[in-house]
Amino acid sequence: MLKTNQNCNIGFVGLGVMGKNLALNLADHGYRVAGFDLDAHKIQDVLDTEAAERPASSTEARIIGCNSMQDMLSNLVKPRVIVVLVPAGKPVDIVCQSLIDAGLEADDIVVDCGNSQWTDTIRREAEYKEKFKFFGTAVSGGEVGARFGPSLMPGGDADSWKYLQPMWEAVAAKVDENGKPIESNTPGKPVTEGEPCTAYLGPNGAGHYVKMVHNGIEYADMQLICEAYHLLRSLLGYEPEEIGKLFAKWNQGILNSYLVEITADILQQYDHKTGAPLVDMILDSAGQKGTGRWTSISATQMGVPAGIISESVYARALSTLTSEREHAAGILTADVESGEIAAEEVEKAIEEALYCAKICAYAQGFQIMRAAQKEYDWTLNFSDIAKIWRGGCIIRASFLQKIADAFDDNHELENLLLSDYFADAMANKQAGLRKAVVLAAQSGVPTPSFFSALAYFDGYRSEVLPANLLQAQRDYFGAHTYERVDAEPGQKFHTYWQEKGRPERKA
């Protein structure tokens, strides 16, 4: 006879797509789950799926449905661990207050696994600390990742981590000794070997901040791939299927990644209705949920150069101006150059451009996190972060192992570009990035992220930049002062620019 009254290891509030699949993942790994949702149909859906997937030998329901939060809490072992998977923002606070009203205790742990802004996580940890332990865990990998192995980015109370660690390490994506994902998308047969793609990142909002930067890099990665596709199509006249096959080839080399893999698949799909390449039937107006924009804003506030990520956000914004672009296309013309282009040379240049620009985008992402740890008094392990991203998440890629190695070799590494591996990669392949940018400019093909990547690389490697003139301008119109190359650092000077003789004095 099937048992349903049991002490459960973990509770869930919110059984939508992500909640349902993460709960099933935990069940596959031997954890008992108590689930609640305001929508009774969602509760029944997860129960039906669990019953269909349950091993024949099992005498217990691995997931039980609860008709209230009180009911859910009564089914949990103490200290109670409750995962909240509801839309970010006010709904999270509503759930927290409802859990308090339902009898939550000071030692209980509430884990926000949604796409919350890190500042909200910092606030909630402080606000609720007398009521319960608030903990943030960002989840990447979408529906399939949640079901069979996501990348998990936890941040919060360190004492709470000891209760969460075995569960999170069990359900997280796994990689082998070479950093390659170990995958099994079969219900009831979870991956149990390998290194889990999760690690404690730090207090309060650290986990959600790292996930935000992950999403900012994701924006950049996707935009760079789209620009490579656009160049191949515009310069060489390749059809989507041909480009898809080229991406599949690139995925076997240094560009191996989930995003390149799915791009190859997308471009070889045809529309059942029209017979045209499916990508050609999709409106070129891109949506966004805001995490890329958050990354750009945070970088700007801290004064960190993150132009590639910002350009990817702006590119999505520009794409939404559909009617304006259609109107402008009939008015604005480009004075472009044309001529014979060797296809193999262009393919090589674009492949190298994509790799170099990708390196620069990740370098910017890690620079943002380096600044954030000072801003929020965190101690982030950048090698661990790269390792977490090797499997389960959207930006998983082979070269993340190289990033982890770079930080393992030098914990104080200021920028990925300064590591031996990536410095050599940029030295050997930057010609492709330069050629791609030139071809794009000459042909009038918009590639803002490629342009930005090259500008970032050239700016970062420049011993002297024209900011001296900029400082003079600021001092001229606003008396903002400047430093001199022949004076002590921090010593300020001001020039009376419009007076005869232009005397200079210390500020």
Token reading at 421:
């591996």
Name the active-site residue from 133, 211, 387, 402: 211
* 213: exposed, middle or buried (Cβ count in 10 Å: 0-12, 13-18, 19+): buried
Which residue, among 134, 131, 133, 167, has the nearest Cα to 152 in the 3D structure? 167
β-pairing, 151-156 vs 504-506, is: unpaired
**Which of the following is catalytic: 218, 227, 311, 347?**
218
From start to end of 413-501, where are the E strands?
493-495
Pairing state of beta strands 109-112 and 133-140?
A: parallel
> 134: part of which helix (H) or strand (E)?
strand 133-140
Cβ neighbour number for residue 460 with a 10 Å cutoff = 16
Instruction: Give 488's contacts (C-beta < 8 A, 6+ positions apart).
Output: none
Active site residue 387: no
Query: Is 211 in the active site?
Result: yes
Task: Tell me the one-letter amino acid at 502.
Answer: R
- The Cα 154–Cα 341 span in angstroms is 49
CB 151 within 8 A of CB 391: yes
Distances (CA, A) of 196 to 85, 191, 228, 379, 434: 22, 10, 32, 21, 38
Radius of gyration for the chain, computed over Cα atoms and rounded to the nearest angstrom: 26
* Residue 275: strand, helix, or coil: coil
Of 218, 175, 213, residue with least CA distance to 358? 218
Q: What is the 3-state secondary structure (H, E, C) of 48-73?
A: HHHHHHCCCCCCECCEEECCCHHHHH
**Which residue from 66, 85, 86 is spatially nearest to 76, judged by alpha carbons?**
66
Which active-site residues does the annotation give? 211, 218
